[in-house]
Amino acid sequence: MNSDEDVRKRPRHPASPAAADDDALIRCIAAGDASAWPQLARRHLGPLVALAWRILGDRAEAEDVAQEVFVRLLVKVPAWEPGGATLRTWLSRVAINLCIDRRRAKRTTPLDDLPEPRDPTADEAVVARRFDMARKVRAALHKLPERQSIALALVYYQGFSNREAANILKVSVDALESLLSRGRRAMKEDLSNVAADLLEDW
Amino acid sequence: MTGRTDMPLDRFRALLDAYGAVPERWPEDERAAAADLLADSDDARTLRREAAPLDDALDLVEAPAPSPELARRVEELVYERPATAARRFVAKPSLTRRLRAWRMAWRPAFLAASGALGLAVGIAAAQPPQTTSTAFDTVELSALAGGLADLRAAELFEDQ
């Protein structure tokens, strides 16, 4: 948990790629410089897969969505207008729409396995406990209503500001805060039933 | 409290409810006022401590990284013409849309076939009848019509 004194620290999420850089790369690609594309792709692919995975709960589907978003970007490149929506916002919005379509078409989305714990030196029992708790948290996230879960994904995991997230969801900042509050409340209730120890002070 | 903050405790509570206990997630334009309140108010510090465990729980869920195959496929997209890439990867249109397109494509053929059929029926009807109906035919057709009516009535009851 963060101490009370560190509240002015830099954001925990790496700073989002500057929109100006993205615009410059897109201009290069539109002018025929294919070497700018991998740079753009590497910058945004990870966050897009993560966002789609958090909404869909399935890695293969999340990768399909991410790939489709990049295809759409490629089609969009010649008509891209700098100074409009930032690329990151545009990509996220397209990904969310694709995820929503897939989620509604499937009705139920089984959760695939979580990624394996990354720290091989950690104590096995601790790793197993964290893994189990992570599964419970993820299941609780997945049970949230669609828009609450997307709002949490954007603000908590993708590092979007409140205005950016509200813009992506096409709601006011007040409405976004309401979605986030309701999502957190529901998570807390759900987790207090299945994993009360999670919500105790660590 | 020293009173140097202009953020009411209620707004701080709403901030925690929505954005959690991690200040980096708080709205940028309110972060300084929230930090002042936090420095000055025991109540604010208590509220933040109470909100923190849920943030820690949320932090447990780490998303997978993209597979190397996906990274390769996406990086190579640029070497295809956009239209080709789109045809290859963009999802197929829905079944309804494909049926509608199929129907539109075959519409002229259906119209031509309907016209030809109508013409054939018209010519056939203009010919003198080759046979006359017998009493047996009439009875048999009546029975068939009655049977169909009974069947339809039975279906209606089943529906209710």
The CATH number of the domain holding residue A143 is 1.10.10.10
Q: Looking at the structure, do residues A160 and A93 belong to the same domain, yes or no?
A: no
Task: Tell me, yes or no, whether A100 and A118 share the same domain.
Answer: no
Measured distance CA(A22)–CA(A26) in Å, rounded: 6
B32 to chain A: closest CA residue: A8
Q: How far is Cα B133 from Cα B55, in angstroms, rounded to an integer?
A: 87
Based on the fold, state whether residues A106 and A119 are members of the same structural domain.
no
Please write the tens of the pLDDT for every residue from A138-172: 999 999 999 999 999 999 999 999 999 999 999 99
Q: Are both A92 and A178 inside the same structural domain?
A: no
Can you give the pLDDT at residue B81?
Answer: 60
What CATH number should be reported for the domain holding residue A101?
A: 1.10.1740.10
CA–CA gap between residue A85 and residue A22 (Å, rounded):
11
- Residue A63, domain member (yes or no): yes
Pick from B16, B78, B94 the residue to mutate for testing the A interface (most A CBs within 10 Å): B78
Based on the domain organization, do A80 and A44 belong to the same domain? yes
Residue B27: list chain A partners with CB under 8 A: 161-163, 173
Same domain, A97 and A135: no
Residues A121 and A152 in one domain: yes
DSSP, res A171: S
Is A9 inside any structural domain? Answer: no
Read out DSSP for A85-101?
S-HHHHHHHHHHHHHHH
Across the interface, do A74 and B22 touch by the CB < 8 Å criterion? Answer: no
* CA closest to A50 among chain B residues: B63
Residue among A41, A74, A141 whose CB faces B61 most closely: A141
Residue A72 belongs to some domain of the structure:
yes
C-alpha pair distances (Å), A128 with each of A125, B63, B119, B154: 5, 17, 79, 62
- Cα distances (angstroms) measured from residue A2 to each of A80, A110, A116, B55: 41, 34, 26, 10
Distance CA B83, CA A66 (A): 18
- The pLDDT of residue B37 is 95
Look at residues A111, A137, A161 and tell me which one is the last residue of a structural domain.
Answer: A111
Cα dist from B72 to A52, A91, A133, B82, B134, whole Å: 19, 19, 33, 17, 79
Interface contact A1-B85, CB threshold 8 A: no
Are A85 and A126 in the same domain?
no
Q: Describe chain B by its helix, strand, coil percentages, rounded to 5.
A: 75, 0, 25
Same domain, A68 and A118: no
Q: Which residue positions in chain B have pLDDT lower than 50?
A: 1-3, 89-95, 131-160
Predicted pLDDT at A199: 63
Q: Report which of A119, A34, A68, A131 is spatially closest to residue B78, judged by C-alpha positions.
A: A34
A39 falls within a domain: yes
pLDDT along chain A (202 residues), means of 10: 46 48 91 92 96 94 96 92 86 96 76 61 77 90 94 96 96 98 96 70 46
Whether this prediction's pTM lies above 0.90 is answered by: no
Whether residues A23 and A95 share a domain: the answer is: yes
Tens-place pLDDT, residues B119-160: 777 777 776 555 444 444 433 444 444 444 444 433 433 333
Contact by Cβ (8 Å): A168, A154 = yes
Query: In this structure, are A85 and A131 located in the same domain?
Result: no
A1 assigned to some structural domain: no
The confidence score (pLDDT) of residue B155 equals 41
The span from the first CA to the last CA of chain A, in angstroms, equals 8
* Exposure letters B37-54 (e unless 16+ CB within 10 A, then b): bbbebeebeebbeebbbb
Note whether residue A56 is domain-resident: yes
Q: Of the residues A111, A135, A168, which one is the last residue of a structural domain?
A: A111
Does residue A7 fall inside a structural domain? no
Whether residues A154 and A189 share a domain: the answer is yes
Distance in Å, alpha carbon of B59 to nearest chain A alpha carbon: 8
User: In this prediction, does ipTM exceed 0.90?
Assistant: no
Nearest CA distance, A74 vs chain B (angstrom): 6
Residue ranges making up the domain that contains A157: 113-202
Question: How many domains is chain A partitioned into structurally?
Answer: 2
- Residue that finishes a domain, picked among A67, A91, A111: A111
